[in-house]
Amino acid sequence: MQRLILFLIVLSPTLAWSDTLYPLASLDAHLIPKGQWEFRLGAKYTQNRWFPFERKNTHRKELHLPQFDLNIGLANNVEIHFDYPYIYLDSDHTDSDWDGGDLTLGVKINLFKDKNNFPAVSIDLSTKLPNGDYEKRFSTNETDFFALALLAKRWHDLNVFLNMGLGIIGNPQVNASQDDVFVYGVGFSYALWPNIDLLTEIQGWAGSNHDNNYAVATMGIQYWYLSHWRLDAGVHVGLNEQSEDWGISMGISYLWEW
């Protein structure tokens, strides 16, 4: 029994590190603390994924390998984040090929802390830069902008979160054209064990005038090891015509203080 207790202590996180929701797409209104960094190396596969401004009729298979994510606690109420995928793509309209995707960078600002009966409230401002190849359909090669309100509330082992806001999506088919969409995400995370969390969400876009509405349900887990390492894995299921049929993702994160 003593050996079992020691084993569980070793495997359990000794420090509350990061407030990130991988493998989910939603963002947590709780920020990572000042001076803490999180680097994630991940992979994601989606089957029959839609491409922005085009109907889902190309049998698009998309693999992000690797997917790089970096989150930095810049101040007590400011977090910055970056992500960049390297993509393998195969579809009816393109040859099978590898190429880089778009770099996304953003800043998350906490306005109100999670306290008593009130949730944490933050805003997230992010932009997707035009780095990818549009002709081969690795990206739209357009600048996109997102402004989101983030809410989250913790009750013991349960964390409930809500994202909602505006996405301005550049249209590669028409110069100086865009699609304004409502961006949403809702879900929860629950600590099943001191070092294992269950996460689930429904996330997507709505209100599009250019066939960009999508909705995806995700269920995943996070596993902490020795407080500095975290593994995550998830299963994704599309909920409407423009969403992928299904997908899987996984990642490994390393967390440290600077």
Provide the domain count of the chain: 1
233 beta partners:
221, 250
Asked if residue 13 has pLDDT above 70, the reply is: no
Question: Which residues constitute the domain of residue 225?
Answer: 2-257
- What's the rounded Cα separation, in Å, for the pair 129 and 90? 23
| pTM (global) more than 0.85 | yes
Asked if residue 17 has pLDDT above 80, the reply is: no
Are 161 and 187 in contact, with CB atoms under 8 Å apart?
A: yes
Task: Please classify residue 107 by burial: count the beta carbons closer than 10 Å to its beta carbon, then call 0-12 exposed, 13-18 middle and 19+ buried.
Answer: middle
Q: How confident is the model at residue 80 (pLDDT cuts 50, 70, 90)?
A: very high
Q: What is the mean pLDDT of the chain?
A: 91
Q: Which residue has the higher pLDDT, 122 or 53?
A: 122
Among 1, 3, 4, 10, residue whose Cα is nearest residue 194: 10
Q: Which residue has the higher pLDDT, 1 or 148?
A: 148
Tokens for 35, please give them.
């001076």
Asked if residue 1 has pLDDT above 50, the reply is: no
Q: How large is the greatest C-alpha to C-alpha distance in the chain, in angstroms?
A: 68
Full DSSP string of the chain: -HHHHHHHHHHS-SS------TTSSS--SSPPPTTEEEEEEEEEEEES---TTS-S-S--EEEEEEEEEEEEEEETTEEEEEEEEEEEEEETTEEEEEEE---EEEEEEEEE--BTTB-EEEEEEEEE---S-TTTTS---S-EEEEEEEEEEEETTEEEEEEEEEEEEE-TTSTT-EEEEEEEEEEEEEEEETTEEEEEEEEEEES-SSS--EEEEEEEEEEEETTTEEEEEEEEEE-STTS-SEEEEEEEEEEEE-
**Segment 89-92 long-range contacts (CB within 8 Å, at least 24 positions apart):** 89/60, 89/61, 89/62, 89/63, 89/136, 89/137, 89/138, 90/60, 90/61, 91/58, 91/59, 91/60, 91/61, 91/137, 92/57, 92/58, 92/59
Q: How confident is the model at residue 18 (pLDDT cuts 50, 70, 90)?
A: low
Asked if residue 185 has pLDDT above 70, the reply is: yes
Q: How confident is the model at residue 94 (pLDDT cuts 50, 70, 90)?
A: confident
- What's the rounded Cα separation, in Å, for the pair 63 and 57? 18
Task: Please classify residue 44 by burial: count the beta carbons closer than 10 Å to its beta carbon, then call 0-12 exposed, 13-18 middle and 19+ buried.
Answer: buried
Pairing of strands 158-170, 94-100: unpaired
Q: How confident is the model at residue 55 (pLDDT cuts 50, 70, 90)?
A: confident
CATH number, domain containing residue 244: 2.40.230.20
Among 119, 164, 167, 106, residue whose Cα is nearest residue 142: 167
